[in-house]
């Protein structure tokens, strides 16, 4: 675990009261940086814990330099100082979640969480699901100032909420070679179920269909040249690409990268990609999960309808249970 070496912020051993004014000005942050990193240019676990305590003291009053320093320091502790470098482990993820759980997360803390996930070459599934769960709480409570910058009525997904979900999905490279994981898909389903009768922003149904479609059509372990080559979630989840463009076009681009085919603004011709991994059906494991999730509540939500219409277009071989759901969604 990073930070196992002894160390703490110089100053009072019983807290950070003597330092709580420092992050409020750029000069204060420079002083704090010198105290934290010291001569070894590293941050210890104890120092990381004290920075989180300091963040709670500062609240939302800190300057931009404080926010940047806090995010950089926590990323150094959990990503850059671990071995192998850049791989966020379960222990590091558990430590970070413990610092964030049990209270309303600050904007600085959420930014640090995203920074850690963005810089990590591997993100444990439960940390990505935890981050999505923070956005879910915003949806349910409407108290989103720190995470989305907006407050709204509880139980409805706004455009700002969808933007926050998309940011989490973008930075969570995860262990499934860039696929949307089961844990992430379950959180998205939980949000869809909880807001099924609400007037959600239309962008939620679009993102839901993309993300859950990613999960069920590109299940973990199916194609694995490299983590970055096989799946680029930014491509798949990009709201500028219409759902009607289909999964085949997206997979062609990713396959071109995986097999060294250079592309410009157009997709490569299908014949140029031997072994193009375009899935034709939802596999049994993903199918059983999908049917169970959709059947967990009566009726179909707008998000589920968008997903089913998409799967109906993209799957060459629909299982009977899925075919019936697609028919209902038509």
pLDDT, tens digit (0-9, with 9 covering 90-100), for 143-157: 999 999 999 999 999
Pick from 103-112, 170-179, 262-271, 284-293: least confident? 262-271
Question: What are 126's two structure tokens?
Answer: 């439960």
Is 114 inside a domain boundary?
A: no
Question: What are 123's two structure tokens?
Answer: 């993100």
What pLDDT score does 179 carry?
78
Distances 236 to 10, 32, 65, 266, 283 between C-alpha atoms, Å: 47, 41, 34, 16, 20
Residues 190 and 309 in one domain: yes
DSSP annotation string for 29-44: HHHHHHHHHTTTT---
Choose one of 76, 106, 136: the last residue of a domain: 106
| Number of Cβ atoms within 10 Å of the Cβ of 200 | 24
Is residue 178 very low, low, confident or very high in pLDDT (cuts 50, 70, 90)?
A: low
- Domain range spanning residue 66? 1-106
Pick from 9-13, 246-250, 313-317: least confident? 9-13
Choose one of 106, 140, 165: the last residue of a domain: 106
Distance CA 66, CA 116 (A): 16
What pLDDT score does 271 carry?
38
What pLDDT score does 240 carry?
53
Is 256 inside a domain boundary?
A: yes
Whether residue 251 is predicted with pLDDT greater than 70 in this model: the reply is no
Is residue 330 very low, low, confident or very high in pLDDT (cuts 50, 70, 90)?
A: confident
Is residue 235 very low, low, confident or very high in pLDDT (cuts 50, 70, 90)?
A: low
Residues 189 and 148 in one domain: yes
Is 245 inside a domain boundary?
A: yes
Of the candidates 58, 120, 69, 70, the one whose C-alpha atom is nearest the C-alpha of residue 90 is: 120
Whether residue 262 is predicted with pLDDT greater than 80 in this model: the reply is no
Compare 198 and 179 and report the one with higher pLDDT: 198
Distance CA 188, CA 38 (A): 43
What pLDDT score does 19 carry?
57
Residues 56 and 94 in one domain: yes
Is 111 inside a domain boundary?
A: no
Is 181 inside a domain boundary?
A: yes
What pLDDT score does 229 carry?
38
What pLDDT score does 40 carry?
85
Residues 88 and 185 in one domain: no
The secondary structure of residue 79, as a DSSP letter, is I
Whether residue 3 is predicted with pLDDT greater than 60 in this model: the reply is no
Compare 264 and 133 and report the one with higher pLDDT: 133
Whether residue 84 is predicted with pLDDT greater than 90 in this model: the reply is no
What pLDDT score does 22 carry?
58
Is residue 87 very low, low, confident or very high in pLDDT (cuts 50, 70, 90)?
A: confident
What pLDDT score does 24 carry?
74
Residues 58 and 163 in one domain: no
Residues 201 and 305 in one domain: yes
Residues 209 and 307 in one domain: yes
Is 112 inside a domain boundary?
A: no
What pLDDT score does 326 carry?
94
Number of folded domains in the chain?
2
Residues 72 and 190 in one domain: no
Of the candidates 101, 83, 64, 97, the one whose C-alpha atom is nearest the C-alpha of residue 4 is: 83
Residues 306 and 159 in one domain: yes
Is 253 inside a domain boundary?
A: yes
Residues 73 and 211 in one domain: no
Is 175 inside a domain boundary?
A: yes
Question: In this prediction, what percent of the chain has a pLDDT beyond 70?
Answer: 72
Is residue 320 very low, low, confident or very high in pLDDT (cuts 50, 70, 90)?
A: very high
Residues 56 and 135 in one domain: no
In this predicted model, what pLDDT tens digit does every residue of 186-234 receive, in sequence order? Answer: 999 999 999 999 999 999 999 999 999 989 987 653 343 333 433 455 5
Residues 179 and 230 in one domain: yes
Choose one of 106, 139, 166: the last residue of a domain: 106
What pLDDT score does 314 carry?
85
pTM of the model: 0.78
Q: Average the pLDDT over 21-27 and give the result.
A: 74
């Amino acid at each position: 675990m990073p930070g196992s070496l002894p160390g703490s912020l110089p100053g009072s051993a019983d807290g950070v009261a003597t330092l709580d004014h420092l992050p409020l000005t750029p000069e204060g942050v420079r002083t704090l940086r010198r105290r934290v990193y010291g001569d070894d240019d590293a941050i210890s676990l104890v120092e990381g814990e004290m920075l989180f305590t300091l963040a709670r003291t500062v609240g939302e009053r800190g300057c931009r330099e404080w926010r940047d320093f806090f995010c950089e320091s926590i990323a150094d502790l959990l990503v850059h100082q671990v071995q192998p470098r850049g791989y966020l482990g379960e222990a590091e993820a558990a430590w970070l979640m413990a610092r964030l759980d049990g209270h309303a997360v600050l904007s600085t803390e959420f930014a640090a969480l995203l920074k850690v996930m963005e810089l990590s070459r591997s993100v444990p599934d439960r940390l990505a699901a935890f981050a999505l769960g923070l956005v879910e709480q915003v949806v349910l409570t409407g108290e989103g100032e720190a995470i989305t910058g907006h407050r709204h009525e509880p139980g409805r997904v706004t455009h700002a909420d969808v933007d926050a979900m998309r940011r989490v999905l973008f930075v969570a490279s995860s262990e499934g070679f860039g696929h949307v994981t089961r844990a992430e898909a379950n959180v998205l389903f939980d949000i869809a179920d909880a807001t099924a009768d609400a007037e959600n922003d239309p962008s939620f149904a679009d993102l839901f269909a993309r993300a859950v479609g990613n999960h069920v059509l590109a299940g973990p372990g199916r194609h694995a040249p490299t983590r970055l080559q096989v799946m680029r979630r930014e491509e798949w989840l990009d709201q500028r690409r219409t759902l009607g463009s289909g999964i085949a076009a997206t997979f062609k681009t990713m396959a071109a990268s995986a097999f060294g085919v250079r592309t410009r603004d157009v997709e490569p011709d299908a014949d140029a990609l031997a072994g193009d991994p375009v899935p034709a059906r939802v596999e049994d494991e993903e199918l059983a999960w999908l049917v169970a999730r959709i059947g967990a509540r009566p009726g179909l939500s707008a998000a589920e309808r968008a997903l089913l219409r998409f799967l109906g277009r993209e799957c060459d071989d629909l299982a009977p249970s899925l075919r019936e759901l697609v028919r209902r969604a038509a």
